[in-house]
Amino acid sequence: MEIKNHFGVYGICLQDGKLLCIEKTRGPYQHRFDLPGGSQELGEGLTETLKRELLEETGYTLIRYCNPRIYDVLVQEEGQDFAVHHIMAFYDIVLDLERSQKSLPHEVLDGSNDSAKAIWLPLEQITEENSSPLVLKVKAELEGFPELELTTYRDWKVK
């Protein structure tokens, strides 16, 4: 089986027991909750990616970030003969929620971005049925049981 690599940078913002998520519109996690973040552009540093992606996907400006860490998952979509080894850099973040949310970029509104709106999701509502493997990793970590080993999802259902 062919394995493709994907690397992304993501922000974890927890407030009042709710995790800031985005609704995915494309890809293997479409119609699921995912973390705001994504792929680096050529020559872009990790924190530059974090700042850009958060603004693009949530409309909020990043104030502070800390606690960088790395997790990974292997996702094989149902009916596919390849898998994606998704390596993810996570940062705990603080966003400027006091200022009004900036309008989402045109790429989000016209569908050329892979995310729709931002949503605050209560941790108890996070399930394998409605969330990406990234969100599931964060939930396990926040509950005190971080999954440090590679987590494998075979026959992942794209909704």
- Residues 40, 68 contacting (CB under 8 angstroms): no
- Residues 150, 72 contacting (CB under 8 angstroms): yes
- 11: part of which helix (H) or strand (E)? strand 2-12
Q: Domain locations in the chain? A: 2-156
Question: What does the radius of gyration of the chain's CA atoms come to, in whole angstroms?
Answer: 15
Tens-binned pLDDT, residue by residue, of the chain (159 aa): 899 999 999 999 999 999 999 999 888 999 999 999 999 999 999 999 999 999 999 989 999 999 999 999 999 999 999 999 999 999 999 999 887 666 665 544 545 567 778 999 999 999 999 999 999 999 999 999 999 999 999 999 998
The CATH number for 2-156, chosen from 3.40.640.10, 3.90.79.10, 3.60.21.10, 3.40.50.920, is 3.90.79.10
> Does the pTM of the predicted model rise above 0.85?
yes
